[in-house]
Structure 1
């Protein structure tokens, strides 16, 4: 006989198995082609069990997208806190931003299903409800950009950077670094060597700092470039 506390735990475990399987299936097949029967087989539950948790495929897809996006955003927020939180001077900013870009673009097997899902969503955007796309954007990309903007605001207040529009500055940083490897950086595999990735990201960070370092400190950009060339020549 199940105890009052074992039933909820079992229900939570089944829901997690369903969302995990759904993320993988939706990432492989897309929303339109994916079938509830396929998800049930992968989760090792019955289709009835899925319908006990979710009203249908669209509700399941929405839950998977929001949960997966939130999980990735949580990890990236912690990465930003760890790398940018201690920064309080321009020299430290260059080093921390490069470390942030490097780690952000290091392949993570745990992100494979999520970014496969994102690519499928982008391919099927015209067929997906606008509310779903907006929910994904709010839970993932926008939240991540706002978190980076928050750190850049702090660096502006310290005089480390000159940032008049933190969200625009965050977008510039992401385009110059994360955007370079958006297709291969989170798939769990990549053909780009760590040294090549570091070289490209260092150039992106220098370009960002050229626009956002206080104008009284241009020499730091040249110093950072010389140090990079010395280490990776």
Structure 2
């Protein structure tokens, strides 16, 4: 058996992301992924145990890339607050735009949501740990810092709950309406949705 090669692995994962995104988990065949990558089926199995292992690798790789991009946006917009409304709005708008920067990954996200019952549970659990369902945990420390400075008032809520509400009112609202970028909204409609979401969030958590 030949040794795995990084460029071959990269070609396979990129092809797998496209095939899983268009065909779904259940219908995607390793033969089709190999053909898309321009390699033999045996080469795929030199790098991955089976289809489940390949799907998990692709999902986690994309999830980590998006998580890293969001971490940069958090630092850019929320590390130093100048105007809480403007900074939260700018962060949410760039966060929404990230969907269009990773189209193949978010096609995979649509597959995961549509086929959750068919995807092996260990794969699904690993995805949840790395994926968008934990995004509020990364936002929470920034909101807690704003509360410490008197820019927000969390009351009896935890920073994690406030972060969850923020995401639901802004990013998740847009993503659900666009099906994670599959059906784009006009830019002014996205801006209005995010602006209204931030305004509602600050009615809930703004300082007295």
For normalisation by structure 2, the TM-score amounts to 0.91
Secondary structure (helix, strand or coil) at the match of 2:207 reads coil
Q: How far off is 1:134 after superposition?
A: 1.2
Task: State how far apart, in whole Å, the 1-side matches of 2:31 and 2:44 are.
Answer: 9
Structure 1 equivalent of residue 20 of structure 2: 26
Structural RMSD (CA): 2.0
Asked whether 1:100 is paired with 2:91, we answer yes
Aligned residue in 2 for 1:66: 60
Q: Is the 8 A contact 1:106 1:185 kept in 2?
A: no
**Which residues of structure 1 form unaligned runs of 5+?**
1-6, 216-233
- 1:228 aligns with none
Runs of 4+ aligned structure 1 residues displaced above 3 Å come to 107-110
| Structure 1 residue 143 displacement after superposition | 4.0
Task: Give 1:1-233 correspondences, 5 Å limit.
Answer: 11-87=5-81, 92-106=83-97, 108-163=99-154, 164-183=157-176, 184=178, 186-187=180-181, 190=184, 192-215=185-208
TM-score normalised per structure 1: 0.81
Q: Is residue 40–residue 50 contact of structure 1 (8 Å, CA) maintained in 2? A: yes
Which stretch of structure 1 is more off in the superposition, 122-131 or 28-37?
122-131
Question: Kindly tell me: are residues 28 and 44 of structure 1, through their superposed partners in 2, closer, same or farther at Cα, counting changes over 3 Å?
Answer: same
Task: Give 1:189 deviation, angstroms.
Answer: 6.1
Structure ID, larger Rg: 1
Gaps of 5+ in 2: none
